Amino acid sequence: MTYQVVSSQQHMLDVLEQCQQSTARYLDTEFVRERSLYPQFGLLQISDGDSVWLLDPLAIDDLSPLWAWLQQNEPLTVFHAFGEDLELLWHEGAIQFNHILDTQVAASMLGWGSGMGFAALVERVCEIELDKSHSRTNWLKRPLSSQQLQYAADDVRYLIPVAQTLIEQLQQQGLYDACLSECQRLAQRQERDIAKRYLDVKNAWQLNQQQLAVLRELAAWRYQRAAAKDMALSFVIKDPALVALAKYQPESMTRLKQINELSPIEVRIHGSKLLKLIADAKLIDKQDWPSRIHRVIDIPSYKSRSKSLMKVCQTLADKAGVPVASFASKRQVNELLMWQWQGGDESDLPVLLQSWRAAVSADAIHQWLQENPAS
């Protein structure tokens, strides 16, 4: 299957028109993300199952028709390991996919292996070993070589038989709808409240409520600056420095320079702003302080409760016909335990009590929760 490079507005419109007739669209993205906050869009690979196109976003001025096409619920959209692809498309065009399949998720549900790479999937389905020598290409550089373009084209060329094989087996095992439901859940994107960016700071749990109020302001400022400059958060100020600033709350440049986690360059560039942010944050009223951050290991009898719940999940996974890793990850078990411990309600159900899992597990898990109340 040959490919065409799409580098003009009219060619893009022609491709999108042709793809309107397809029952599935196979996509992949290439980008660069080394020092930037957001992925930098380098290439979009598209196939309708018969042809392959490599769309050059750097050569086309108006991508709004592309965003409109991607936003359509039909046809089925297929990716492999779509996490970063969806982050890119969400940032570039606010694309929210609903009817979507991730072949990595599908392979996991079929018991082929958790987190299976695309090359391994292609080798299993097509008995072909992909050339991955161009995986570190600078996709923003032009012109791209024929070898680089072929590498990119292969990512959707072989996605077609891989996806078709997986879909057939999912349908045979009665797992297709569950897989689509899981992929739709994983595909959902939303803007995170900037006031909650402090929750992403590593070791924020070490701080008390007043210190968290300071961290909240520092983390919000850091994110705003990173977004304005499109630079990775760590290139503004690293997490350990934010935690130290929130903990010690220096009031002078002398004290600021004594914080070991803060580099001299960071002090020189941001020192005055940091002191102002800290001073203002210290005036925040107590009633507006964030709640303490709890960890799952703080839950009484966490280890034994986690082990007991995982046994229940293993039984339920067997009943559903999926590997336990696809049914209940450690993170999802922890989410349920934290939800119970903090008195969660029906308006914010954990993953294990939602969607396709609920059809299998709701009664059994509710029974376990009743028999094992949080202390």
φ/ψ of residue 76, rounded to 5 = -60, 135
| Residue among 346, 365, 354, 348 nearest 308 (CA) | 365
Residue 176 CB partners (closer than 8 Å, separation 6+): 167, 170
> Active-site residue 151, yes or no?
yes
Contacts of 104 (CB under 8 A, 6+ apart): 80, 81, 82, 115, 116, 118, 121
Choice among 3, 26, 30, 182 that is catalytic: 30
Among 3, 28, 102, 176, which one carries the catalytic annotation? 28
Question: What tokens does 372 get?
Answer: 């094992």
Can 28 be counted among the known catalytic residues? yes
155 is catalytic: yes
Alpha-carbon distance of 163 to 118, in angstroms, equals: 11
Nearest CA-CA partner of 205 in 278, 291, 289:
291
Instruction: State yes or no: is 346 an active-site residue.
Output: no
**Active site residue: 48, 155, 182, 335, which one?**
155
Closest alpha carbon to 70 in 21, 8, 25: 25
Selecting among 151, 158, 176, 198, the annotated active-site residue is 151
* Catalytic option among 56, 85, 102, 217: 85
Neighbours of 25 (CB within 10 A): 22
**Does residue 123 have an active-site annotation?**
no
| Residues involved in catalysis | 28, 30, 85, 151, 155
